[in-house]
Structure 1
Amino acid sequence: MSDPANLREQALSLLASGKATSRADLVEILQVAPSTVSTVVRRLLEDGAILEEGVGQSTGGRRPKILRLIDAGGVYAVAELGASHARVGLCSPSGRLLAVEETAIDIGAGPAKIFDEVSEAFDRIRTAKAPGQSLLAVGMALPGPVDFPHGRLIGPARMPGWSGYDAQTDLRDRFDVSVIVDNDAKAAAVGEYTVRRDPGDMVYVKAGTGIGGCLVSGGQVYRGGRGLSGDVTHVRVADSGERECSCGSRGCLETVASGAALVRQLAERGLSVASTRDVIAATENADPAVVTLVRQAGRLLGVALSGLVNFLNPDSVVIGGSLSSLDVYVAAAKGMLYERCLPSLTQSLSIEASLAGPDAALIGLGHLVRAHTA
């Protein structure tokens, strides 16, 4: 039997994204009985979360009543932290992204300083884009393993001073509202799933300074026993050169396929690069040495993902994060997946770059906040 809370969130997400506008749409997409959808819709109407607004076109029977989410007053503040920057935004209660800005940070400065900076950014963007709107909840995505839904960091390799930190309680004390803290790749996977039409079972990979991953199956994030699933960055890969990883091991995917790895490799060759953005710029300028290394990094990502595809048989693989903007990186990963995976598994497999782009985690946080703080 379907979980009512899960069906409620799926229905809200479908209505928010426009993929469904009626009970009939929900029945078709969710693949549940009409009576089950009627129960979910009735409760959403009673809760004031949606309203019926006019009728749609008939497909042979009675014209369907149009369902629409109600945007109550107030906003969600959402932020995704990276190694050197943060994306900060505002979402409506329906999950619609209202405004986004980016600000420079240094994740190594520690949680207290970073949260001070993010708090200032929240205040700035609310004053500019939503004056007078009350803050309803806060969502935060962090570039490390998060014990969800408790919001505590567990052994993040690239975040000195963060291990064991109770980020959720800190943010709740600061803002005095409900707070959700999640891993950045998982939040981005939720956002990506939301903007796509029926992606089926989806493996999402966030390839930026580091590499994170997530499986979305049946519309739900697979989190694992402690909520720490998706740590593809420390999968051992061949041709890694046995470089030492930030986790203390050797030969991890992070050491050869991440933005940090490319920065290191290019600097070793005497090129002036200091960040993943520099790598992207040099690739877009068609620097031959850079393009060659980026292509090899994409191939090694494909090697790591091929094992997941053979094991999980997903309907789609989506590559997000900043490196997904580079066609050569995505194409190399895609080519290696076709080369390494069983033909029966790639025959109908969709392998694409992200549609949600850099806002994927913010969109995902909007939906996670609504689901877990309602």
Structure 2
Amino acid sequence: MEPIASVRDQALRLLASGAVSSRAELVEALRVAPSTVTAAVRRLLADGVIVEVGSGRSTGGRPPRVLRLRETGGVFAVTELDGRHARVGLCAPGGALHTADEVAIDVAAGPDQVFDAVAAEFARLRAAIAPGQPLLGVGVALPGPVEFAHGRVVGPARMPGWSGVDARALLAARFRVPVAVDNDAKAAAIGEHLARGREPGDMIYVKAGTGIGGCLVSGGQVHRGGRGLSGDVTHVRVVDSGERVCSCGGRGCLETVASGAALVRQLAEQGSPAAAVRDVAAAVRDGDPTAVTMVRHAGRLLGVALSSLVNFLNPDAVVIGGSLSGLDGYVAATRGALYELCLPSMTQSLTIEAGVAGPDAALIGLGHLLRTTTDVRTR
């Protein structure tokens, strides 16, 4: 029997996403005994996390009691950092994303300057969108390995000056509210899983942007590994890499040939003025044959790197998010490589597609982390 705590977390996630609204729907979605769902719901009601708000439509028997998250005043402030920008937003306690915007940063400037810029943007959004609303929690997604249990950054290849930084402690001291710190790909995977509602299968999520991050979601839970550092697919060594030196100091990593940074560099070497991933996307939209060929090759190499994972893990879906997911040729080439290299039994019912949560996936995921790990009951 699945532990009540696990069922409680899964039930809360489903209620937050709006995918279910009753005990019967939870039983159907989670495929556990009604008594297990009843115990989990009873605990959520006792904790004040959810409320019953009347009766739903009867399907022949007693009308079901409708379950909803308890809405309280206040907001969560959430941000996803990249090398040159931060996406910043505000979430309602129930999980809905109120607003999101971008602000320029330089992650190499170090945590103090970056968090100063993020804090200023939080303040601006709160004044514009939620004046007078208390800040209930802060969530930050970082483009590097994070020990989730401690909120500490561990050996990030693309974040000079951040290794060993206790980001959770710094943010808690600054904002004096509960804080969640996670890797950007894991936060985005949570957001993507929520956006898919009733799709409970195992999912390999890949965030393909400036770098490449990965995450396995199994049974509705993120697989974090022993220290919480799992999913660093960007430093998997691949053939046809040209043995280029990677940001990690190694050679031949996937990042050097299949990431947004790699594509920007490759186009620049061909004389293109490309300086960011959006420039690569613009070149592809304009039909630049060099850009189109490079994007397809990069997508194929991602598929090559993922093929052994698909054969080993047998997921229900491979979902590609991040800025490169908007390039059809990249996703199609990844799909083609997986169909070619994986066992037919592994791809027979495998879904391989771009994400549906869009650029706010990590913000949605952070809002969920804060919602499920902090006490936001009315005080």
Q: TM-score, normalised by structure 2?
A: 0.97
**Which SS does the other structure have where 1:243 is aligned?**
coil
- Residues 1:91 and 2:91 are matched in the alignment: yes
2:373 counterpart residue number: 372
Shift in Å at residue 58 of structure 1? 2.4
Query: CA 1:222 to 1:30, structure 2 compared with 1: closer, same or farther past 3 Å?
Result: same
Distance 1:75 1:7 in 2: 26
Shift in Å at residue 199 of structure 1? 4.2
**Which SS does the other structure have where 2:207 is aligned?**
strand
1:67-146 equivalences in 2 (<5 Å): 67-146=67-146
1:32 counterpart residue number: 32
1:22 counterpart residue number: 22
Shift in Å at residue 31 of structure 1? 1.5
Structure 1, residues 84-141: CA drift from partner, whole Å, max 9, x if none?
1101011111111111111111111111100000000100101100111100111100
The amino acid across from 2:181 in the alignment is: V
- For the 8 Å contact 2:205–2:318, the answer to whether it is kept is yes
Shift in Å at residue 364 of structure 1? 0.3
What value does the CA root-mean-square deviation take over the aligned residues? 1.0
**Which SS does the other structure have where 1:16 is aligned?**
helix
User: Structure 1 stretch 4-13 or stretch 80-89: which is displaced more?
Assistant: 4-13
User: Structure 1 stretch 352-361 or stretch 61-70: which is displaced more?
Assistant: 61-70
Structure 1 regions of 5+ residues with no counterpart? none
2:289 counterpart residue number: 288
**Which SS does the other structure have where 1:116 is aligned?**
helix
Query: CA 1:199 to 1:32, structure 2 compared with 1: closer, same or farther past 3 Å?
Result: closer
- For the 8 Å contact 2:264–2:280, the answer to whether it is kept is yes
How many positions carry a matched residue from both structures?
374
1:297-308 equivalences in 2 (<5 Å): 297-308=298-309
1:1-374 equivalences in 2 (<5 Å): 1-196=1-196, 197-374=198-375
Query: CA 1:128 to 1:153, structure 2 compared with 1: closer, same or farther past 3 Å?
Result: same
Distance 1:73 1:317 in 2: 37
The amino acid across from 2:318 in the alignment is: V
Shift in Å at residue 3 of structure 1? 3.0
Distance 2:9 2:92 in 1: 15
**Which SS does the other structure have where 1:25 is aligned?**
helix
Runs of 4+ in structure 1 off by over 3 angstroms are none
Q: TM-score, normalised by structure 1?
A: 0.98
Distance 1:124 1:54 in 2: 38
Shift in Å at residue 6 of structure 1? 2.4
Identity of counterpart residues, as a percentage? 70
Shift in Å at residue 302 of structure 1? 0.5
- For the 8 Å contact 1:82–1:143, the answer to whether it is kept is yes
- For the 8 Å contact 2:189–2:217, the answer to whether it is kept is yes
Distance 2:39 2:278 in 1: 49
**Which SS does the other structure have where 1:60 is aligned?**
coil
User: Structure 1 stretch 355-364 or stretch 67-76: which is displaced more?
Assistant: 67-76
Distance 2:103 2:284 in 1: 24
Structure 1, residues 284-308: CA drift from partner, whole Å, max 9, x if none?
2221110110010000001001111
Distance 1:112 1:156 in 2: 17
Distance 1:45 1:215 in 2: 30
The amino acid across from 1:271 in the alignment is: S
- For the 8 Å contact 1:157–1:247, the answer to whether it is kept is yes
Shift in Å at residue 202 of structure 1? 0.3
The amino acid across from 1:144 in the alignment is: G
User: Structure 1 stretch 206-215 or stretch 192-201: which is displaced more?
Assistant: 192-201
- For the 8 Å contact 2:4–2:39, the answer to whether it is kept is no
Query: CA 1:199 to 1:30, structure 2 compared with 1: closer, same or farther past 3 Å?
Result: closer
Structure 2 regions of 5+ residues with no counterpart? none
